[in-house]
């Protein structure tokens, strides 16, 4: 029996992780949960799931709920916890990730921003604590599974698939007046609003290119992106003899969440089996980097290293906030990220304070971009 802590329990991944825990009482017990906002929803979840420890961002009077950043970091490192599901969104997941890894936990990681920004710091924490980092992001879970079929030096390339988001067929000019409601309507997955927006700009795939490089230790040259609108093939690995291993399933995040928790075993899953005969078409296209420059910028940042990936992420997080509050347009998101990257003086990231400073600088530059635009 493994004790599980779900950080970011009220979100899209967090709730699906709860489903996985509930579906396997013989394997998992829910030990702890955390959330940042929506106090009422969080308290309802705590009432229903009755974990030993609950952590919220603010004090919740007349309850046993703990609060604040230190309580969150303590839960991530709690000696009672075996598996941490990291379902917090944004760079806010970085400190809890480091805390869990240093304490030697298995971390089932959905959050990609922390891997993109954390770089070598994450590797170091993993080495220090002797824990495990298992990917939840569907593409990375697919690559992880496909990599089990050969040796590392036999790998020709990793092929990440991308749905292309809701605007895959639109021309660049048609994108200018996209509203937040249109941007978060994802064609194949139901997810939190920030990652849905990132899928529409292709920032999500850019982040995933860097995430794959971090997780599997391959350079950008070995990582390719293919648009695959049906989201049935979750990603592939091509070996040097020309064999391509692919991972297919229905688009249900409970599958990769569960695999990260049960690996190296597999257990029955609440996800529906794939009916390939009911699938009319599986198609693949090369991405158009001119129409979606976010992808090109990600490759450039990966190559440049240092603080560039941090700025790519931080500028995008800030631009997303400004887009949702109506202060930036859809195309301004990638333009403001390019603006921040142009002005950032790149340097090596030695520690967490370097990373947080680069993140802060990225956000400041996006605000500067917004002011000059309005």
Residues that bind Mg ion (CB under 5 A): 137-139
Beta-strand pair 132-135/106-109: parallel
Kindly indicate which of the ranges 105-113, 127-135, 315-323, 344-352 contains the residues binding ligand NAD, using the contact rule CB under 6 A.
Answer: 105-113
Residue from 110, 126, 301, 355 that binds ligand NAD (CB under 6 A)?
110
Q: What burial class does residue 226 get, using C-beta atoms within 10 Å of its C-beta: 0-12 exposed, 13-18 middle, 19+ buried? A: middle
In the bound state with ligand NAD, the residue whose beta carbon lies nearer, of 35 and 125, is 35
* Smallest separation (angstroms) from ligand NAD to the CB of 354: 20
Is 298 among the residues that bind ligand NAD (CB under 6 A)? no
What letters, b where the CB count within 10 A reaches 16 and e where it falls short, cover 23-59? Answer: bbeebbebbbbbbbeebeebbebbeeeebbbbbbbee
- The binding track of 239-278 with respect to ligand NAD, each residue x by CB under 6 A or -, is --------------x-------------------------
In the bound state with ligand NAD, the residue whose beta carbon lies nearer, of 12 and 269, is 12
* Smallest separation (angstroms) from ligand NAD to the CB of 154: 28
What letters, b where the CB count within 10 A reaches 16 and e where it falls short, cover 237-257? Answer: bbbeeeeebbbebebbbbbbb
In the bound state with ligand NAD, the residue whose beta carbon lies nearer, of 89 and 262, is 89
* Residue 229 contact, options ligand NAD, Mg ion, none, Cβ 5-8 Å cut-off depending on partner type: none
Separation in Å, CA 104 to CA 74, 87, 264, 314: 13, 18, 17, 28
* Residue 191 contact, options ligand NAD, Mg ion, none, Cβ 5-8 Å cut-off depending on partner type: ligand NAD
Q: Which helix (H) or strand (E) holds 22?
A: helix 12-23
Q: Which two tokens stand for residue 38?
A: 């929506």
Q: What is the dihedral of CA 198, 203, 205, 211, to 10 degrees?
A: -100
* Smallest separation (angstroms) from ligand NAD to the CB of 196: 8
Q: Which residue is nearest to ligand NAD (CB)?
A: 11
Q: Distance (Å, rounded) from C-alpha 176 to C-alpha 172?
A: 7
| 244-248: strand order across its sheet | 223-227, 155-162, 233-239, 244-248
Q: Is the peptide bond before 341 cis (omega within 30 degrees of 0)?
A: no
What is the footprint of ligand NAD within residues 37-76 (CB under 6 A)? Answer: 37
In the bound state with ligand NAD, the residue whose beta carbon lies nearer, of 78 and 113, is 113
Is 334 among the residues that bind ligand NAD (CB under 6 A)? no
Instruction: List contacts with ligand NAD (CB under 6 A).
Output: 8-14, 35-37, 87-90, 92, 110-113, 137, 189, 191-192, 194-195, 253
């Amino acid at each position: 029996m493994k004790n599980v802590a779900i950080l970011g329990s009220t979100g899209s991944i967090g709730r699906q992780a709860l489903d996985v825990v509930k579906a396997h009482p013989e394997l998992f017990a829910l030990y702890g949960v955390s959330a940042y906002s929506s106090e009422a929803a969080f308290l309802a979840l705590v009432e229903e799931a009755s974990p030993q420890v609950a952590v919220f961002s603010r004090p919740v009077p007349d309850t046993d709920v703990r609060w604040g950043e230190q309580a969150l970091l303590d839960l991530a490192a709690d000696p009672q916890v075996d598996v941490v599901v990291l379902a917090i969104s944004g760079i806010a997941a970085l400190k809890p990730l480091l805390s869990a890894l240093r304490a030697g936990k298995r971390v089932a990681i959905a959050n990609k921003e922390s891997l993109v920004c954390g770089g070598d710091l994450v590797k170091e924490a993993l080495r220090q604590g002797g824990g495990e980092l298992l990917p939840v992001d569907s593409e990375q879970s697919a690559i992880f599974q496909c990599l089990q079929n050969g040796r590392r030096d036999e790998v020709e390339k990793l092929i990440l698939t991308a749905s292309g988001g809701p605007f895959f067929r639109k021309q660049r000019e048609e994108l200018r007046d996209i509203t937040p409601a249109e941007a978060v309507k994802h064609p194949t997955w139901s997810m939190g609003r920030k990652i849905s927006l990132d899928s529409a700009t292709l920032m999500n795939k850019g982040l995933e290119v860097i995430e794959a490089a971090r997780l599997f230790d391959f350079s950008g040259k070995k990582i390719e992106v293919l648009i695959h609108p049906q989201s049935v093939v979750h990603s592939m690995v091509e070996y040097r003899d020309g064999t391509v291993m692919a991972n297919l399933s229905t688009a249900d995040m409970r599958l990769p969440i569960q695999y990260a928790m049960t690996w190296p075993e597999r257990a029955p899953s609440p996800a529906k089996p794939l009916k390939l005969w009911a699938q009319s078409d599986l198609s693949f296209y090369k991405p158009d980097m001119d129409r979606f420059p976010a992808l090109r910028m990600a490759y450039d940042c990966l190559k440049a290293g240092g603080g560039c990936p941090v700025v790519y992420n931080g500028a995008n997080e800030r631009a997303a906030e400004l887009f949702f509050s109506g202060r930036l347009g859809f195309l301004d998101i990638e333009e403001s990220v390019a603006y921040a990257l142009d002005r950032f003086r790149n340097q090596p990231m030695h520690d967490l304070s370097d990373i947080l400073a680069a993140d802060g600088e990225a956000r400041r530059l996006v605000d500067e971009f917004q002011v000059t635009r309005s």
